[in-house]
Amino acid sequence: MKPITLTQYLIEQQRLGGHVTSELRLLIQTVAQACIAIGHAVNRGALAGVLGGAGSDNVQGEAQKKLDVISNDILIEANEWGGHLAAMVSEEMEHPHLMPAGYPTGPYLLLVDPLDGSSNIDVNVSIGTIFSVLPCPAAGAPVTAASFLQPGSNQVAAGFAVYGPSTMLVLTVGNGTVSFTLDRDMGTFVLTAPAVKINEDTGEFAINMSNQRHWTAPIRRYIDDCLAGKTGPRGKDFNMRWVASMVADVYRIISRGGIFMYPADQRYKEGRLRLMYEANPMAMVIEQAGGAATDGVRRILDIEPSALHQRIGVVLGSKNEVAQVAQYHQ
Ligand code: F6P
Ligand code: MN
């Protein structure tokens, strides 16, 4: 069978009568196009002068890299004029970005982590872009930060791009999770995994072990038991991977199973990752692929947010392993 493109996939989804409207289709295609542009800049690296620090901090007080700022600008510019969006929120901007006066607006809200895995930018390791799409609650009414404060279960689409050996786009519109590979010659994303399914069991975990002294007792016990291997309480050997780019760690998990954890700990009491544009979109992608995503105990997608840049503990991946972690909390 001839492989289909992202555009064809989205048109098919629209015909199936789910919630993919022409505007949502345009939004996703626009984000995908922006990801191609970001991926191009990432790929050019030093040749394009895009490596290194930007000399500024973002709202969370983290030093911005040049590529954080460039990626944010690319996403804004791509999405402003299409008429599909009411407003955007980004890790790199304190307040929602409204569409400029004179441009038409649309029924959706876009939330992005423009460049995930910033610490890997300058060392030639996979990085990516994460996005989440919410319906805009009151069509016509002014959009404020409160308009974005919806639980992840309201997302109508979510996904991420990984700029690695191949540029990949992982997407869900609520009808399973699919993934596309960028055909650089054609400039199009081609569907290469039409039904992503995460193994329910795994023997591979991902956590930043250097944080061990900060962990809570349940996480400590869970990892100790994994490390004890075959003769320990879990009765099997575990392998460990930590890329330090959530996009790359999650991509591995949708490819061969696994569990990813950035739990709340003594230092990051609320967790480290951001709920609205990291945890929620990844949770939707993972659940739609048959996996599970919690903050250790609670389902991520059920959490009622209270702030745009709110942080949350994240435990996601193979269903039975995520359930194991919850049991250690009992
Ligand atoms: O966005 C935050 C992030 O870069 C994730 O992509 C990644 O999983 C994590 O931080 C890496 O954290 P650490 O620096 O503790 O390894
Ligand atoms: Mn990130």
* Residue-wise pLDDT tens digits, 265-324: 999 999 999 999 999 999 999 999 999 999 999 999 999 999 999 999 999 999 999 999
Domain locations in the chain as residue ranges? 6-193, 204-329
**Average pLDDT score over residue span 11-22:** 93
Please tell me the pTM assigned to this model.
Answer: 0.98
CA 242/CA 166 separation, integer angstroms: 19
CA 205/CA 261 separation, integer angstroms: 8
119 lines ligand 1 (CB under 6 A): yes
Question: Which residues lie across from 63 on neighbouring strands?
Answer: 57
116 lines ligand 1 (CB under 6 A): yes
Ligand 1 mean position to 244 CA, how many Å? 5
pLDDT of residue 186: 94
CA 194/CA 177 separation, integer angstroms: 8
CA 120/CA 127 separation, integer angstroms: 7
244 lines ligand 1 (CB under 6 A): yes
**Average pLDDT score over residue span 67-77:** 97
CATH superfamily ID and name for 6-193 = Fructose-1,6-Bisphosphatase, subunit A, domain 1 (3.30.540.10)
Strand ranges (E), 117-214: 127-135, 157-163, 167-172, 177-183, 188-193, 204-206
Residue 125: Cβ-neighbour burial (10 angstroms; 0-12, 13-18, 19+): middle
How confident is the model over 76-117, as pLDDT tens digits? Answer: 999 998 899 999 999 999 999 999 988 999 999 999 999 999
Structure tokens at 93: 């901007």
How confident is the model over 172-203, as pLDDT tens digits? Answer: 999 999 999 999 999 999 999 999 999 999 99
CATH topology classification for 204-329: D-Maltodextrin-Binding Protein; domain 2 (3.40.190)
125 lines ligand 1 (CB under 6 A): no
Report helix, strand or coil for 191.
strand
Strand ranges (E), the chain: 53-57, 63-65, 85-90, 97-98, 108-116, 127-135, 157-163, 167-172, 177-183, 188-193, 204-206, 239-240, 259-262, 273-274, 292-294, 311-312, 314-317
Written in H, E and C, the secondary structure of 20-45 is CCHHHHHHHHHHHHHHHHHHHHHHHH
Q: Between the CA of residue 225 and those of 230, 232, 257, what are the distances in Å?
A: 10, 6, 19
CA 87/CA 149 separation, integer angstroms: 13
DSSP 234: T
Q: Which atom of ligand 1 is nearest to the CA of 273?
A: 2
Q: What percent of the chain has pLDDT over 90?
A: 93
CA 265/CA 207 separation, integer angstroms: 12
- 301: Cβ contacts below 8 Å, ≥ 6 apart: 151, 152, 153, 155, 280, 283, 284, 287, 293
Q: Which atom of ligand 1 is nearest to the CA of 245?
A: 6
Chain length of the chain: 330
